Structure 1
Amino acid sequence: MAHGGNVIAEFTADHRELEELFARIEAQPVDHPQRRVLANRLTAELVRHSVAEEMHLCPTVRKHVRDGEELAEKELAEHVKIERLLRDLEELHVDDPQFNDIVAKLRLEVASHVREEEQELFPKLAASCSPEKLDELGRLARHTKQTARTCPHFTVPDTSPAPELLVPGAGLVDRARDLAHGRRTTG
């Protein structure tokens, strides 16, 4: 699925890319170094996606969707669980048996999160916002993902949108760290 269009299309495209990354990780032999390369890319994509959701989707859901406060808080809580798993994964070498366990747990968490968004949240958002608003949110999400951090951070609050407002250079710092460590987090 191509990126572009409204926020629902943008995040749905992200979801398909994440599913593809999980499949590529699992297709590699258990202790193959390519699993680490793919896990680094998965981490970067998940973090960028989460940042964009926290900055643009959650506030819009709170404001425009019935029971939006509850839905947004649920989104944020799921993001915290996923980022904790990403942080745990980041610490592991590919030949550590826990690496595979964390990837499996992460895939289940992400799949559940995606299913809830696509079946519950996105239809409610589409019914509550104008097409123009959804298009604007899509543009904002794409821009945010280009500059967002690429690593899980736990030095900032777990509520939105404070993490990115408090640490505006986090994306740049993460990309420099990725480069210095030889981590490939794109393409």
Structure 2
Amino acid sequence: MAEQDVIDLLVAQHGRIRDLFDEVEQAPVENVGEAFDRLTRMLSVHETAEEEIVHPYARRKLDNGQGVVADRLAEENKAKRLLLDLHKAGVDDPRFWDGLAELRTFVTVHARGEERYEFPRLRANTSTVERRAMAAAVRAAESLAPVRPHPGTESAAMNMLMGTPLALMDRAREMIRKALGKR
């Protein structure tokens, strides 16, 4: 895989997340669940990697990094809670579409906050080598990240402590559901 700047990687993932929201909204009724699962997986691994790699680095490198990151973590917790509520209710719940619209708005505002307040300052205060190393670390973290939302694990320490066991449970649950022919 070619070397990549972590900020470019994350901004591209924000675009992919927007595309996945579109996919859910435009999916035929029988495919909404599968499309929503793809969105959930992407959001979950993306946020976990940011929480483990990017936010701790920003906290250390940026003036008022603690404040910038605290705002992003609060947003991530809220988005995880919304996503978890949607999963618990299911795509057939009459409130699903309103909840999805709320989640989309919240995720969009969150991504805009990162792109406006965190990423430009991170780019200005890090070297190309640092950003490439962070991109590699983000990809590694994503490969081990939970694929379902787990509110309350927004810190790097909680992700390191709970992330791998949660990821294993999530992935085992997915395999069992697939084997049983369930979503």
**Common topology (TM > 0.5):** yes
Q: In the TM superposition, what is the alpha-carbon distance from 1:159 to its structure 2 partner?
A: 4.2
Q: Is 1:14 matched up with 2:13?
A: yes
Q: In the TM superposition, what is the alpha-carbon distance from 1:94 to its structure 2 partner?
A: 2.2
| Equivalences for residues 132-143 of structure 1 within 5 A | 132-143=129-140
Unaligned runs of 5+ in 2: none
Q: Which residue of 2 aligns with 1:36?
A: 33
User: Residues 41 and 96 of structure 1: is their aligned pair in 2 closer, same or farther, counting only changes over 3 Å?
Assistant: same
**1:51–1:145: 8 Å Cα contact kept in structure 2?**
yes
Question: What is the number of equivalent residue pairs in this alignment?
Answer: 178
Give, as a single letter, the amino acid of the residue that structure 2 aligns with 1:103: L
SS, match of residue 97 in structure 1: coil
Unaligned runs of 5+ in 1: none
Q: Is 1:181 matched up with 2:177?
A: yes
Q: In the TM superposition, what is the alpha-carbon distance from 1:20 to its structure 2 partner?
A: 0.5
Q: Which residue of 2 aligns with 1:130?
A: 127
The partner residue of 2:65 within 68, 73, 76 is 68
**1:76–1:158: 8 Å Cα contact kept in structure 2?**
no
| Root mean square deviation of aligned Cα | 1.8
Q: TM-score, normalised by structure 2?
A: 0.91
**1:35–1:94: 8 Å Cα contact kept in structure 2?**
yes
Q: In the TM superposition, what is the alpha-carbon distance from 1:162 to its structure 2 partner?
A: 2.1
Q: In the TM superposition, what is the alpha-carbon distance from 1:3 to its structure 2 partner?
A: 8.7
Q: TM-score, normalised by structure 1?
A: 0.89
**Identical positions, percent:** 33
Distance 1:4 1:146 in 2: 17
Q: Which residue of 2 aligns with 1:161?
A: 156
**2:9–2:135: 8 Å Cα contact kept in structure 1?**
yes
